[in-house]
């Protein structure tokens, strides 16, 4: 790896731009997934009868192999027209389960006595959600976001297979040209991104935990 | 008393969706400024009777009047905010400081932060907890008795003149319970003297607590009122249900005398 310095210098701009592209794909997917999943999790906690079928569907999405998922999205109108769209929609599909499941579990797990009091003192249902349920479920929701983010960072590397860019670009190119340095130029930043996301969200989760509830 | 009752139950029935009746034709008045104890064994319907008052249960028949108005005509949110609620497990919010827990009703009514803090501190004093030590603590840092004091303070924070208490001291050891009963009795005497006339409906299975705190004792059995007596007449009552209850809870004394 004596030539490593030269390689880095030569590829630095590309590493930066592909890392940014990777971040953009993951970030956009997480944004959509969060906006869909948290309200859905809350809704399922209200309508418990729907929880099982909906979680079942979301769980099935999760089991589809990622390359197959990209394949399914490819022929679709609008989504299939741009590689980035395919990648983002696929990532959203994978991010749904951990967020929906944890939001649902976090909210339905709030102490029944606390919820009874919240109603009996005259809180509106919006106040109960905002002041009691969401804060008490927050560590769970964040744990779900964390799992989803790490999953998305990982799967986003495969998005390069449909031409969506990101750090997978290096990996695929490196494999094709049997150049380990290229593979590592994609793999190392991707792994670092995943570790950083995991660490940051874990820290936030720890900060927002509620002591004395017997819950994480 | 002369004044209209604080709470009136008129032929109140409550049935579960499966048809099981938990309350049958309950009729009784609770005079303003008095404490009425609802006594009875588990499953007798005393908690249900308490919870129809703030519309936590919707009655199936009859009517309940609070401050002279049918609760069916009152907005449940406003009604609940005007009635203090204290339960055995306190139900303090684990993520709120003690001060914020006490000021809960004021907060949801949108009062200012300083007004809430001021009121919370005054109430902490009233229930015998030093504001400087307790205002900023979290519920899990308090003992059971201290938490129950906070629960009581919360129920009084918005100047509620009706309190619903569901076995408020049931989970406490006997000495702490006696201490809390004294706190409640002192508050009730203070409120009488200040002319606030706080009305308390107290669910308990502790005969001694009922006699100590209440002016009237109501014995609930199978969703019906078996007796409704002034506290001083309860022990000497000839009503069989009352005699049965008194005998059942005073067995220890009787066995040794």
Q: Model confidence over A46-72: pLDDT tens digits?
A: 999 999 999 999 999 999 999 999 999
What is the least distance, in Å, from the CA of A212 to any CA of chain B? 5
| B78–A210 C-beta distance less than 8 A | no
Residues in A touching B56 (Cβ below 8 Å):
116, 119-120
Q: Indicate the DSSP class of residue A131.
A: I
Give residue-wise pLDDT tens across range A4-51.
578 888 889 999 999 999 999 999 999 999 999 999 999 999 999 999
Res. B1: pLDDT tops 50: no
Distance of CA A88 to CAs A105, A201, B9, B156, Å? 26, 21, 61, 53
In this prediction the ipTM stands at: 0.90
Res. A216: pLDDT tops 60: no
Residues in B touching A136 (Cβ below 8 Å):
94-95
- Of A51-55, A80-84, B168-172, which has the strongest mean pLDDT? A51-55
Determine which helix (DSSP H) or strand (DSSP E) holds B133, and give its type and residue range: helix B131-134
Residues in A touching B77 (Cβ below 8 Å):
122-124
H helix runs in chain A, sequence order: 4-46, 48-63, 66-73, 83-108, 112-120, 125-127, 134-156, 168-176, 180-207
pTM of the model: 0.88
Pairwise CA distance, residues B64 & B70, whole Å: 6
Determine which helix (DSSP H) or strand (DSSP E) holds B87, and give its type and residue range: strand B83-87
Question: What is the structure's pLDDT at B61?
Answer: 93
Res. A3: pLDDT tops 60: no
Question: What is the structure's pLDDT at B247?
Answer: 87
Question: What is the structure's pLDDT at B4?
Answer: 86
CA A131 to chain centre: 25
* Sign of the dihedral through C-alpha B82, B86, B87, B91: positive
Residues in B touching A135 (Cβ below 8 Å):
95
Give residue-wise pLDDT tens across range B198-240.
999 999 988 999 999 999 999 999 999 999 999 999 998 899 9
| A116–B81 C-beta distance less than 8 A | no
Q: Indicate the DSSP class of residue B100.
A: H
Question: What is the structure's pLDDT at B62?
Answer: 94
Closest chain A residue by Cα to residue B163? A121
Question: CB of B171 within 8 Å of any CB in chain A?
Answer: no
Closest chain A residue by Cα to residue B95? A210
Closest chain A residue by Cα to residue B81? A122
| Nearest beta carbon to residue A113 from set B54, B77, B89 | B89
DSSP for A179-203 reads -HHHHHHHHHHHHHHHHHHHHHHHH
Question: CB of B241 within 8 Å of any CB in chain A?
Answer: no
Give residue-wise pLDDT tens across range B83-112.
999 998 888 999 999 999 999 999 999 999
Distance of CA B34 to CAs A185, B88, B158, B161, Å? 79, 21, 19, 11
Question: What is the structure's pLDDT at B250?
Answer: 75
Could you give the angle at which helices B144-156 and B174-193 cross, rounded to 10 degrees? 20
CB of A149 closer than 8 Å to CB of A215? no
Residues in B touching A141 (Cβ below 8 Å):
none
CA A55 to chain centre: 16
Give residue-wise pLDDT tens across range A141-200.
999 999 999 999 999 999 998 888 899 999 999 999 999 999 999 999 999 999 999 999
Mean pLDDT of chain B: 91
Coarse DSSP helix, strand, coil percentages of chain B, rounded to the nearest 5 percent? 40, 25, 35
Res. A1: pLDDT tops 70: no
Give residue-wise pLDDT tens across range B120-129.
999 999 889 9
| B91–A114 C-beta distance less than 8 A | yes
The residue assigned the tokens 């919006």 is A126
């Amino acid at each position: 790896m004596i030539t490593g310095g030269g390689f880095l210098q030569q590829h630095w701009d590309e590493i930066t731009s592909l890392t940014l592209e990777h971040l953009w794909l993951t970030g956009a997917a997480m944004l959509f997934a969060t906006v869909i999943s948290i309200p859905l999790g809350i809704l399922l906690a209200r309508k418990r009868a729907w929880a099982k079928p909906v979680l079942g569907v979301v769980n099935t999405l999760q089991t589809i192999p990622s390359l197959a998922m990209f394949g399914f999205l490819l022929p679709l109108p609008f989504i299939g027209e741009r590689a980035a769209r395919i990648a983002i929609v696929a990532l959203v599909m994978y991010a749904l389960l951990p967020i929906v499941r944890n939001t649902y579990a976090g909210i339905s797990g709030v102490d029944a006595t606390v919820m009874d009091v919240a109603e009996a003192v005259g809180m509106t249902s919006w106040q109960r959600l905002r002041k009691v349920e969401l804060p008490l479920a927050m560590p769970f929701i964040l744990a779900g976001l964390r799992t989803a983010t790490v999953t998305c960072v990982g799967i986003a590397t495969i998005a390069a297979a449909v031409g969506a860019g990101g750090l997978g670009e290096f990996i695929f190119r490196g494999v094709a040209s049997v150049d380990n340095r290229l593979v590592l130029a994609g793999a190392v930043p991707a792994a670092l991104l995943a570790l950083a996301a995991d660490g940051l969200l874990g820290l936030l989760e720890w900060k927002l935990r509620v002591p004395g509830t017997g819950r994480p | 008393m002369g004044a209209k009752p604080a709470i009136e139950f008129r032929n109140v029935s409550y049935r579960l969706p499966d048809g099981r009746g938990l309350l049958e034709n309950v009729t009784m008045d609770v005079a303003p400024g008095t404490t009425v104890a609802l006594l009875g064994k588990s499953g007798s319907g005393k908690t249900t009777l308490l919870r129809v008052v703030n519309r936590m249960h919707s009655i199936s028949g009859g009517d309940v009047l609070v401050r002279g108005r049918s609760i069916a005509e009152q907005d449940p949110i406003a009604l609940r905010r005007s009635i203090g609620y204290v339960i055995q497990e306190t139900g303090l919010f684990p993520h709120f400081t003690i001060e914020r827990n006490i000021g809960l009703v004021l907060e949801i009514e949108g009062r200012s932060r300083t007004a809430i803090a001021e009121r919370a501190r005054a109430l902490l004093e009233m229930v015998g907890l030093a504001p400087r030590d307790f205002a900023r603590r979290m519920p899990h840092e308090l003992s059971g008795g201290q938490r129950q004091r906070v629960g009581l303070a919360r129920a009084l924070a918005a100047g509620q003149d009706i309190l619903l208490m569901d076995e408020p001291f049931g989970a406490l050891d006997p000495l702490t319970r006696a201490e809390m009963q004294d706190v409640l009795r002192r508050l009730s005497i203070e409120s009488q003297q200040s002319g606030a006339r706080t009305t308390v409906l107290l669910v308990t299975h502790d005969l001694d607590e009922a006699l100590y705190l209440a002016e009237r004792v109501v014995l609930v059995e199978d969703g019906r009122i078996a007796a409704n007596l002034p506290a001083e007449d309860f022990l000497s009552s000839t009503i069989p249900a009352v005699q049965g209850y008194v005998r059942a809870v005073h067995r220890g004394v009787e066995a040794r005398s």
